[in-house]
Amino acid sequence: MCGITGFLSFAPDHAEGMQAQLQRMCDAIAHRGPDSDGFWIDAAAQVALGHRRLAIVDLSPQGHQPMRSACGRYMLVFNGEIYNHQALRKALPEQAWRGHSDTETMLAAITHWGFEPALQRMVGMFAIVAWDAQERQLLMARDRMGEKPLYYGKLPNGDFAFGSELKALRAHGAWQGRINRDALALYLRHNAIPGEHSIFEGIAKLPPGHWMAVRHDGSVRQHCYWRLQDLASQACARRPSRSDAEAIEGLEQLLGTVIRDQMVADVPLGAFLSGGVDSSAIVALMQRQSTRPVRTFSIGFDQEAYNEAEHAKAVARHLGTEHTELYVTAQDALDVIPQLPRIYDEPFADSSQIPTYLVAKMARQHVTVALSGDAGDELFLGYNRYLIAHRMWRQLRRLPLPLRKAAAAMVLRISPETLTRLGSHLPSLKAHGPLGDKLHKFAHLVLPARDAADMYRRLISHQGDPEAWVHGAHEPATLLSPGALPAMPSEVEQMALADQLTYLPDDILVKVDRAAMAVSLETRVPLLDHRVVEHAWTLDMKHKIRDGQTKWLLREVLYRHVPRALIERPKKGFAVPLDSWLRGPLKSWADDLLSEPRLRAAGILDAQRVSTLWAEHRSGRRNWQYQLWDVLMFEAWRDSL
């Protein structure tokens, strides 16, 4: 795991300051690679590549970057790991290897097969930038599922710059950085900035599964070498018939192979363990093929509603891992909040970013690489919201849309407080939280839905009309917009595809990458090996959801190694008590960031809307924790500029 950055200049007088410029950009992402830095500049071509190294495989100087191909044509910087690089070496013509790094393998593969064919043969997570001296162009690529980030854009002086994080681009002397209000509207809907967008005008993210070429004449061509929606459609159309035994054995064999590949490292390696299905399955299969106890890590909270550390300890004890746990206080978590704008670099409001950072920081004291169980919910249909939305739509679609819209209007005319008070007379509703809030959300988001995909988009949106909250914004279309995705065999699989293409790369993987790299920890996600992703789409629904239980097949693999009784319990997630914190220890901080005069002076957000939201939450009449956290993370980020 590393950090990469650099630029291609089109200004004829830029050559003199290139070294200092590149040094500043590399220094800005030193946390991604604390072991060493590397620079390469071709003043005549006006191209500069920089690298910060976190040494994982081949710790010798032969693994140093930027690295030149043996033929001299390519100079490359790379962030990530190529897990099948030894197999690629065997497939390449015999040659004299300088070391055993995957970077050298990648360069040989690009030289022999060409850029896109080499990408299609690689198994791993990566962001790559290579200078092709023969064609005088930058070649850039990102892994299939978007585990590793890559930002790029043209700066006001004409330089084309790139970097693993926005920090690197912001360190360029020509940086200006105007806030992209359209992207801000998307952020308020999704609590993260999705797709190709970034918080700054003129700066974009390379999409997962894509590569692009930037020629010295300024032309840019983008290509897709792996498209998940196409593969999912094709897999659904020709699913093989499997017995339960065949499905369980097939998944266990595949996961075992993938995990074996991802356990290769020349530095200490461990795994995150929450005690849930996904992380327990990964750790169980790690321990099965390890000759020594696997290092596992979990954090616990004093509040029972948010604590899963005891479950993780029980799983670790059963598997025989070398387990480390850390109980953190509310103050430990609160102390992380001032660091979040620096860590995440652009507005990001998934509040599980806080415990994710804490467990990464703790793990880094013992290991340099940690495997995680992320993506199990998306691949094997683990979210309860899939089932809830499916059942809800099955009932709603029987009612004509005009009738549903009329019903929604009637509900919204009654205040949430009144609806809650009326509902208090019905004993069956008393134990399910503020009825008024739930009915208002249902009427506003669900009843007006045109179809199941539209309903799901509404359900997972923090703001249903984010343009109204951002002055001058026009919300761009995304992969969640109507008609953007192909139809799947069921509404549940449609929702899962949407999450794999959006929520996973835009939220989950951003959260883990930035939190871990802030403490120089490499994370690996076995379930996102593209072979596992493709295999999951070939599985029938009966192997994912059965008798109302989610992730059936992954559970069955796990139960070969861990007793069912240690796993079966209500899911808690990786959350923090934002609602009470905002009314308690964070109240003063939030008051400052959400003050109406301050917001009016900035002229970006609708100050009156924000003030109303904050007043309702502060008084306890409504729970707007997620919507307020979105605003607070944006305002805290804006303060950090």
pLDDT of residue 414: 86
| pLDDT (mean) for 554-561 | 98
Q: In this predicted structure, what is the pLDDT of residue 305? A: 66
User: Average of pLDDT values for 235-259?
Assistant: 97
- CATH code given to domain 2-225: 3.60.20.10
The pLDDT assigned to 639 comes to: 96
Q: What is the pLDDT of residue 359?
A: 96
- CA-nearest of 519, 573, 511, 577 to 331 is 577
473: left (phi over 0), alpha (psi -120 to 50) or beta: beta
Higher-pLDDT residue of 123, 96: 123
Q: Does domain 230-381+495-566 have CATH number 3.40.50.620?
A: yes
In which band, very low, low, confident or very high, does the pLDDT at 632 lie, cut at 50, 70 and 90? very high
Instruction: Determine if the pTM surpasses 0.85.
Output: yes
pLDDT at 288 over 50: yes
Higher pLDDT, 11 or 478: 478
Share of the chain above pLDDT 70, in %: 96
**pLDDT tens sequence across 318-357:** 999 999 999 988 899 899 999 999 999 999 999 999 999 9
Check residue 593 and report its DSSP letter.
H
Q: Which helix (H) or strand (E) holds 13?
A: none
Least confident segment among 46-60, 108-122, 437-451, 523-537? 437-451
- Please tell me the distance from the alpha carbon of residue 537 to that of residue 453, in angstroms, as a whole number: 19
| Confidence check: pLDDT of 575 > 80 | no
**Mind listing the pLDDT tens digit for each residue in 166-195?**
999 999 999 999 999 999 999 999 999 999
- Range with the lowest mean pLDDT among 225-234, 449-458, 491-500, 632-641? 449-458
First-to-last C-alpha distance (Å) of the chain: 27
- Helical (H) or strand (E) element with 608: helix 607-619
| Neighbour count for residue 639 (Cβ, 10 Å) | 11
Given the residues 2, 26, 71, 224, the one annotated as active site: 2
Q: What's the pLDDT band for 15 if we cut at 50, 70, 90?
A: low
pLDDT band at 432 (very low <50, low <70, confident <90, very high): very low
Q: Are the beta carbons of 75 and 45 closer than 8 angstroms?
A: no
> Does 60 score more than 60 pLDDT?
yes
Instruction: Examine the pLDDT at 512 and tell me if it is beyond 60.
Output: yes
Closest C-alpha among 304, 457, 277 to residue 385: 457
2 labelled catalytic: yes
- Going by C-alpha positions, the residue among 75, 71, 91, 79 that lies closest to residue 55 is 79
Domain locations in the chain as residue ranges: 2-225, 230-381+495-566
Lowest mean pLDDT, pick from 25-34, 239-248, 322-331, 416-425:
416-425
The dihedral of CA 215, 218, 219, 225: what is its sign?
A: positive
pLDDT at 218: 83
Contact partners, residue 164, CB within 8 Å, separation at least 6: 2, 3, 4, 5, 29, 32, 79, 127, 148, 149, 150, 151
DSSP-derived 3-state class of residue 384: helix
pLDDT band (50, 70, 90) for residue 571 = low
* Model pLDDT, residue 431: 45
| Structure confidence at residue 57 (pLDDT) | 82
